[in-house]
Amino acid sequence: MTKWFDTNYHFIVPELGPSTKFSYASHKAVSEYKEAKVLGIDTAPVLIGPVSYLLLSKPAKGVEKSFSLLSLLGSILPIYKEVVIELKAAGASWIQFDEPTLVKDLDAHELAAFASAYAELELALSGLNVLIETYFADIPAESYKTLTSLSGVTAYGFDLIRGAKTLDLIRSSFPSGKYLFAGVVDGRNIWADDLAASLSTLQSLEAVAGKDKLVVSTSCSLMHTAVDLVNEAKLDDEIKSWLAFAAQKVVEVNALAKALAGQKDEAYFAANVAALASRKSSPRVTNEEVQKVVAALKGSDHRRATNVSARLDAQQKKLNLAVLPTTTIGSFPQTMELRRVRREYKAKKISEEEYVSAIKEEISKVVKIQEELDIDVLVHGEPERNDMVEYFGEQLSGFAFTDNGWVQSYGSRCVKPPIIYGDVGRPNPMTVFWSKMAQSMTSRPMKGMLTGPATILNWSFVRNDQPRFETCYQIALAIKKEVEDLEAAGIQIDEAALREGLPLRKSEHAFYLDWAVHSFRITNCGVQDTTQIHTHMCYSNFNDIIHSIIDMDADVITIENSRSDEKLLSVFHEGVKYGAGIGPGVYDIHSPRIPTTEEIADRINKMLAVLDTNILWVNPDCGLKTRKYTEVKPALTNMVSATKLIRTQLASAK
C-alpha cells in the first residue's frame, strides 16, 4: 500500500512486468451502475484512467527498475474498451476517467501516452459524454494543452482550490463546445465554502465555457472529507457553523448551481456570510501570545549549538549503550482490555484513580517485557494514547474533535482527523506525568514519546485562513515547551507523515521541506547535548528527500525499511554520508509473521555494508500497537538475539 498522492487514503500499488496479462476480472463498475439505475438514480461511473493506472504502478519483484510501465498501454486498453462497451449497453450516458497524474511533472513521452490512449479509445467512447478529471494541484501548462486536445473527450474537470493557477490557463484558452467541471468547493477539507467568492469565480468562467457548458463541482472526490455534520451532537454550534462535511458540500454545490441559473437562495447565502464573519472575528481563533512568539521565530535557523558528532559522544558517555543499540518505535499492543479502560474513563464509568492505576500497571508490564528481552533503550508503550495525533490535539488549544468525522484510510480502516480551527498553544504538560512514571520503573534509558509538528499538521483538518507553515510553526512551539519539560535521557519526536505532506509538483518541494524541517528543529533546539533526540518516519520513498532528513539534525532516526524491500539502503549505496544514529527497520510490523533470528541478522549485515557500526541502531519498522503480544514477544526476542549474534561476530573480527 502507499498513499494516494498527498492524501491519507492508501491504495495497493499494482506490480507489473513485461509478462503481465490483463483480463476483465471485476465487473464492479457496471454492476454498481445497474444497482443505482434500478433505484432510479442515473450515475456517471468513475474509472481510474489507463495512463494514471500505469504511471501509479511499479515494476514487480525481479523486473528491471528501468522497465517502462507505459509499454503495457497497448495491453490494457482492450480491457478498458470492454468495460466501456458494457457500461454503454447498461445505459450509461456519462463516464468519468480520473487522470490525476496530469498534475504531476510529466515528460513528453508520458504526455504522449495520454494522446495515444484516448485516440485508441475514441471509437469505443463514441456516443458517451466523457469527463477527464484532474485534482490535488495546479495542472502544468503542457499537461493542460495535452488534456484539452484529447480525442473523444467531452468534458474536463479541475481542482480550483489547490489548483488556483489553473484558472489562468482556463481563462486564456478553453476549447469551445466542451464542458468545464469547475471544482470550486473544497473536497479535501471540512470548512464551509465562501459561496460569494465561488459564485464570482463561476460567473467569470461562464464567459469562457458558456452558460450551458459550465458544471459546478467539488475539487475532488468527497471520500477525503467527513460524511455529515448531522452526526455531530457534541460539536458546539459556533464551530459547527464554520464547517461543511460531504453532505453539506453537496448542498453548497447545488446552491451555487442554482445561483448561477438565477435562482439564488438569498437566505442560504446570507447565513454563509454570517458564518464566515463569525469565524473571522471569533476570539477563539486568535491567540495573540502565540502569534507574537511565531513572529519572533523569523530570522533564526533554530539549530542545536553543537554538531551531531559531538552530541553523540556526549550522549554515549552518559548512556553507555552497547554497539548496535536496540529499541522499539514507541507503541506496544493496544489490547481489548486497554481500550475498554480508556473508553470507560472517557465515559466517566471509572474514576481517575482507577484509570491511572490501570495505565500504570500496563506501563509496568511493558517495561518488564523490554527488560526481560534485554532491549537497550525502552519505551513506555503509549497505553494512555488513542491515536498519535488526537492524543496531543486533545491537550492543545485551537483543536476541535468530532464523534463521527471518520475518513477512509484503506479498506474498512478509517481515521478521525482532529480539526485545527485556531492558534495552537500548549496550556499544560501533556506527557510528562506518564514519562516520569515510566522512567521511575527502570534504570535503563526511557524515551519520552511525542508526535512531531508536520505529522500533527498533515494528519489533521487544517484551518484554511492562514498558510499551513504558520500553523506548523505554532504546533512546533507547543511541542518545544513539552520537550523542555520532558528533557531527560532521550526524547523521540515522531515525524511519520513528513514525507506525505510533500507537494505533488517538484517546484514546490523546497519550500515545504524548508518549513517542515525547520519546524522539527524548533521543537528541540534548546536541549542539552546529552539529551538524545530521536525521530521516526514511516512510508518509505525517502531517498529523494534524504538531504532534508539529514538537515532535521536529529541524533537518531528510526525509519521504515524492511516493508519497502530495503529501498532506503540504496541511497547509502549511492554514496550519501549520514553521520547521525540511524535505525532502518529490521522487520515489518504490518504483518503477523514472526521473522527468524537469521533473517534479521542478514538484514543487519546488509545495513553494516553501507553504514558505520557506531551509528547503526536495531529496531522494528514501526510501532507495535496493531500487533498481538503473541507476535511481538517472539519477534523482539529474535531481533535482540540477532543483534547479540552480530555483536559477537564484530567483537571476534576485531
Residues classed as catalytic: 590
| CA 457 to each of CA 228, 232, 388, 473, 525: distance values in angstroms, whole numbers, following the listed order | 23, 22, 12, 10, 20
Nearest Cα residue to 436 out of 427, 448, 428, 426: 448
DSSP assignment of 18-46: TT--------HHHHHHHHHHHTT-----E
Dist CA 419 CA 421 (whole Å) = 6
Cell of 402: 468530532
For residue 546, the SS3 value is helix
DSSP assignment of 408-431 equals EEETTEEE---EEEEEEE--S-SS
d(CA 395, CA 55): 42
Q: Is 397 helix (H, G, I), strand (E, B) or coil?
A: strand
Do residues 457 and 475 lie in contact, with contact meaning Cβ atoms separated by under 8 Å? yes
- Pairwise CA distance, residues 601 & 564, whole Å: 18
Give one DSSP letter per residue of 105-141, joined into a string. ---HHHHHHHHHHHHHHHHHHTTSEEEEE--SSPPPH
The values of phi and psi at residue 69, to 5°, are: -65, -30
Angstrom distance (rounded) from CA 228 to CA 245 = 5
Q: Half-sphere exposure of 160 toward its Cβ, with a 13 Å CA cutoff? A: 25
Residue 533's DSSP bridge partners are 491
C-alpha cell at 475: 504546533
Distance CA 82, CA 87 (A): 9
What does R_g of the chain's alpha carbons equal in angstroms? 27
Angle among Cα 471, 472, 478 to the nearest 5 degrees reads 95
Helices and strands per DSSP (H, E), number in the chain: 23, 20
Cα distances from 541 to residues 31, 222, 612, in angstroms, run 37, 27, 22
Report how far Cα 449 is from the mean position of its chain's Cα atoms.
Answer: 20
In angstroms, the CA 550 to CA 554 distance is: 8
CA 215 to the chain's CA centroid: 30
Half-sphere exposure of 82 (CA within 13 A, CB side): 11
State the DSSP H helix or E strand holding residue 581, giving kind and residue range, or none if neither.
Answer: strand 581-584
Distance CA 460, CA 385 (A): 17
- Find out whether 600 and 587 touch, Cβ atoms under 8 Å: yes
396, three cell numbers: 492543545
Alpha-carbon gap, residue 565 to 381, rounded angstroms: 27
Q: Are 457 and 468 in contact (CB under 8 A)?
A: yes
Q: Is the dihedral of CA 502, 506, 508, 514 positive or negative?
A: positive
